[in-house]
Amino acid sequence: MKMLGAEVVIECLKAEEVDIVFGYPGGAVLTLYDALFKTDFPHILTRHEQGAVHAADGYARATGKTGVCFATSGPGGTNLVTGIATAYMDSIPLVAITGQVGVSLIGKDSFQEADICGITTPITKHNYLVKKIQDLPCVMKEAFYIARTGRPGPVLIDISKDVFNDTLDFVYPETVCLRGYRSLFAGNSNQIDLVIDALEKAEKPVIFVGGGVNISGTSEEMRKVINLTGIPVISSLMGLGCIPSDVPEHLGMVGMHGTYAANMATMDCDLLIGIGVRFDDRVTSLVQNFAPKATIIHFDIDPAEVNKNVRADLKVIGDLRWSLPLLCEKIVEHSITKKQWAKAEWVDLVQEWKREKPLASSLPAGGIRPQTVIEKVSELTQGEAIIVTDVGQHQMWTAQSYSFNTQRSFLTSGGLGTMGYGLPAAIGAQITLPEKDVVLFTGDGSIMMNCQELATLADNGLPVKIIVMNNQVLGMVNQWQRMFYGKRYSHSSTKGCTDFVKLAEAMGVAGLRVTKPEELNSVLEKALKMEGPVLVDVLLPETEDVLPMVAPGGRLDQMVLRGIIG
Amino acid sequence: MKYILAVLVENRPGVLTHISGLISRRAFNIESIAAGPTEEVDTTRITIGVEVEDEFELEQVVNQLSKLVNVIKIANITYVDSIQRELALIKVRANKANRSDLVDVVEIFRAKIVDVNRETLVVELSGEESKIDALCEVLTDFGILEIVRTGRIAISRGPVPAKDM
């Protein structure tokens, strides 16, 4: 049957079991939007293309499925850039479809023309420019295949306007033929035998979990490894959730704002097993000083991650869905148990660190402690909510203080650190998981970066609860200025006339405010019980630091702990 | 350390953009890059000369390039017995007085003169980089107006092609 290019796109989405698209229409995608209209395909209109791409990203992180967004040519595409880069840094499966000007107008600086393939080359796993309708089904098939297999990532398809209007006898290809692309699953099991050898020799091991565990959905296998061996676990920001925060072996997040116990364990361990991690600079600080006594083992699906930042002594290349079950098997086979590290007093030592210096605040009594806000939400949601954040101090406090229970329950821009990510990502997550509590922790800086999406939230009746940690400063910038720039607070104050409650109400979101500590519990309880979206503006003291903190270039065991009680 | 990589890629639009984009994004130090068609119609071969600090950095270059969807195969032919060539075209000032000297130089280097006029001539030379460098140095005395070089290409000796290495 002859079909319009635009209809072909929709048919391909159906074939890929896409159940919703986030987007924003414009000149070059009018025919595509006409096809959406005619087929009644589910689509969420955001208020900015950046909102659409972050929403697709939030959808993908919360479910593991591939998120899809649409935008028009030129500014539509360029508005996606930050969101695509965000997804790329955190390995999120995403397909972004943009319209391009007509074939004969490409390269002529035409109206709303931008070379979006050129622009997104460094921030996509792959991208395509489609100029002939015959290529369209194959490109769509390949794009979804590339986005979700191997190490996932965003793929952009730029489709010329003419292609949407052209016709084709549509057949969706059943397989892809990509000569240069292998999505690795099983690796070399001998590598796991070497890991077992290293475990048998180790006295002070640590397991370091990262985003790869969340992405591959292997938190169950990961928990099994911990249960069997009792090895202390540390987590990157992206790894939070895959091991419940309250498991005794869990020492918390490692790195610049990691816990005392996690950072000390990293510096003292004799074996560090990284599972689906990138050894990002926010984790390692100076790589030369990272885990100096340890044999380092790196489990990853991407061979290019091994030895990129930290030199690994052993590697296990393959999908964690392959390697972790096999590791469990061999751990049982070689009876590697908790006793080994107990004998070496390692387990006692890390627990001692954990007790000795728990996370604490430097605030004098009186104001609302930001950590208390998060702990309260954690208690009210029993750690079962999908927690979304923006970027800054509130993000680190959430990572430190929320008690996570399940994989894919913490959506945050880790690699790129994108302010403005939170609200649209929460929208994407709530749409696909309507039965879940979705709570967004944001700041007075971050919320303004995509606050137009409050309208999307309200108009779709999505019951996301937004907690604005409002300290009237760009908190993290402020903290660095306080610590490293002689308290010269250059342009980091947001004190002004903005009323977040009114802003929310103007777009149809209920607004509440907390000004005194004694109001906190009741307002949070009320907000979480309310139907529909709610924004809670929590007024916090200006000067609270995220602690512990490892100064840039410092060693992980040289934390700024000032203010930590105990 | 300098290495030579033979990179076989699918001959699809945008493939060179992806390769050059990756090289610049990862801040790899590329000395030369030369691309052209191969014995297979849908395959392009790109010879990349790369300068790296150590084997780990080389491993990064290879692994990152391998991740590109259109890259089919990368062979490190640095330590393989191979033939390496570069083609250069050099436009030199030449008048009646010094033309015969110039012809001597060209003969010594087994280069060819491919264009002559009253003021200049164009010399063509293929060979290893060092040989071309040497010729350029000698020709400097005559006055070089323009140099164009292709960048190194390389092929292994013996029967095994790069795609099977």
Cβ-Cβ contacts under 8 Å, B72 against chain A: 179-180
Å between A156 CA and nearest CA of chain B = 13
Mutate to test the interface with B, among A308, A309, A313 (most CBs of B within 10 A): A308
Query: What's the mean pLDDT in A507-513?
Result: 98
B10:A179 CB<8 A: yes
C-alpha span between A368 and A520 (Å, rounded): 8
- pLDDT for residue A563: 55
Which tens digits make up the pLDDT trace of A109-164?
A: 999 999 999 999 999 999 999 999 999 999 999 999 999 999 999 999 999 999 99
Task: Please indicate if any CB of chain B lies within 8 Å of the CB of A126.
Answer: yes
Which domains, ranges and CATH numbers included, belong to chain A? 2-169 (3.40.50.970), 189-356 (3.40.50.1220), 370-546 (3.40.50.970)
Cβ-Cβ contacts under 8 Å, B18 against chain A: 121, 126
Q: Are strands A314-317 and A386-389 parallel, antiparallel or unpaired?
A: unpaired
Å between B147 CA and nearest CA of chain A = 30
C-alpha span between A521 and A269 (Å, rounded): 40
Task: Please indicate if any CB of chain A lies within 8 Å of the CB of B10.
Answer: yes
- CA dihedral of residues A460, A462, A464, A466 (deg, nearest 10): 30
A146:B69 CB<8 A: yes
Which tens digits make up the pLDDT trace of A258-302?
A: 999 999 999 999 999 999 999 999 999 999 999 999 999 999 999
C-alpha span between A286 and A149 (Å, rounded): 32
A122:B25 CB<8 A: yes
Strand partners, B4: B49
Instruction: Write out the H or E segment, with its range, that includes residue B65.
Output: helix B55-67
Closest CA to A206 of A151, A282, A283: A283
pLDDT band, very low/low/confident/very high, at A343 (cuts 50, 70, 90): confident
Question: Exposed/middle/buried for A13, CB within 10 Å: 0-12, 13-18, 19+?
Answer: buried
Å between A303 CA and nearest CA of chain B = 6
Q: Indicate whether A367 pLDDT > 90.
A: no
C-alpha span between B137 and B132 (Å, rounded): 9
Task: Please indicate if any CB of chain A lies within 8 Å of the CB of B17.
Answer: yes
Query: What's the mean pLDDT in A72-101?
Result: 98
Residue entry with tokens 């029993």: A382
Cβ-Cβ contacts under 8 Å, A116 against chain B: none
Q: Indicate whether A334 pLDDT > 60.
A: yes
C-alpha span between A296 and A235 (Å, rounded): 15
Q: Indicate whether A540 pLDDT > 50.
A: yes
pLDDT in tens, chain B (165 residues): 899 999 999 998 889 989 988 988 898 999 999 999 999 999 999 999 999 999 999 999 999 999 999 999 999 999 999 999 999 999 999 999 999 999 999 999 999 999 999 999 999 999 999 999 999 999 999 999 999 999 999 999 999 999 998
Å between A157 CA and nearest CA of chain B = 13
Q: Give percent of chain A with pLDDT exceeding 70.
A: 98
Cβ-Cβ contacts under 8 Å, A178 against chain B: 69
B18:A121 CB<8 A: yes
Residue entry with tokens 């007093």: A345
Task: Please indicate if any CB of chain B lies within 8 Å of the CB of A178.
Answer: yes
Q: What's the ipTM? A: 0.90
A304:B66 CB<8 A: yes
Cβ-Cβ contacts under 8 Å, B57 against chain A: none
Inter-residue contact A151 to A159 (CB < 8 Å): no
Kindly report the average pLDDT of chain A as a whole number: 95
CA A470 from centroid of its chain's CA atoms: 22
Q: Which amino acid is at B7?
A: V
B22:A122 CB<8 A: yes
Cβ-Cβ contacts under 8 Å, B60 against chain A: 304, 307-308
Cβ-Cβ contacts under 8 Å, A126 against chain B: 18, 68-69
Compare all CA atoms of chain A with the CA of B9 and give the residue at the minimum distance: A180
- pLDDT for residue A344: 79
Which domains, ranges and CATH numbers included, belong to chain B? 2-76 (3.30.70.260), 83-153 (3.30.70.1150)
Mutate to test the interface with A, among B20, B69, B73 (most CBs of A within 10 A): B69
Task: Please indicate if any CB of chain B lies within 8 Å of the CB of A127.
Answer: yes
Q: Indicate whether A365 pLDDT > 90.
A: no
B69:A181 CB<8 A: yes
Closest CA to B38 of B17, B7, B65: B7
B72:A179 CB<8 A: yes
Which tens digits make up the pLDDT trace of A159-187?
A: 999 999 999 999 999 999 899 998 889 99
Q: Give percent of chain A with pLDDT exceeding 90.
A: 93
Å between A181 CA and nearest CA of chain B = 5
Which tens digits make up the pLDDT trace of A303-315?
A: 999 999 999 999 9
Inter-residue contact A319 to A216 (CB < 8 Å): yes
Å between B118 CA and nearest CA of chain A = 42
B59:A307 CB<8 A: yes
Cβ-Cβ contacts under 8 Å, A181 against chain B: 69
pLDDT band, very low/low/confident/very high, at A5 (cuts 50, 70, 90): very high
Q: Spell out the residues 6+ positions from residue A166 whose beta carbon is closer than 8 angstroms to its own.
A: A4, A5, A133
- pLDDT for residue A564: 41
Inter-residue contact A494 to A466 (CB < 8 Å): no
Tell which A residues from 305 to 364 touch B, by Cβ distance under 8 Å: 306-308, 311
Compare all CA atoms of chain A with the CA of B21 and give the residue at the minimum distance: A122
B22:A307 CB<8 A: no
A178:B22 CB<8 A: no
B22: left (phi over 0), alpha (psi -120 to 50) or beta: alpha
Q: Which amino acid is at B73?
A: K
The residues of A carrying an active-site annotation are 49, 111-112, 161, 476
Mutate to test the interface with A, among B67, B70, B72 (most CBs of A within 10 A): B67
Our CA angle for A213, A308, B12, nearest 5°, is 90
CA A110 from centroid of its chain's CA atoms: 36
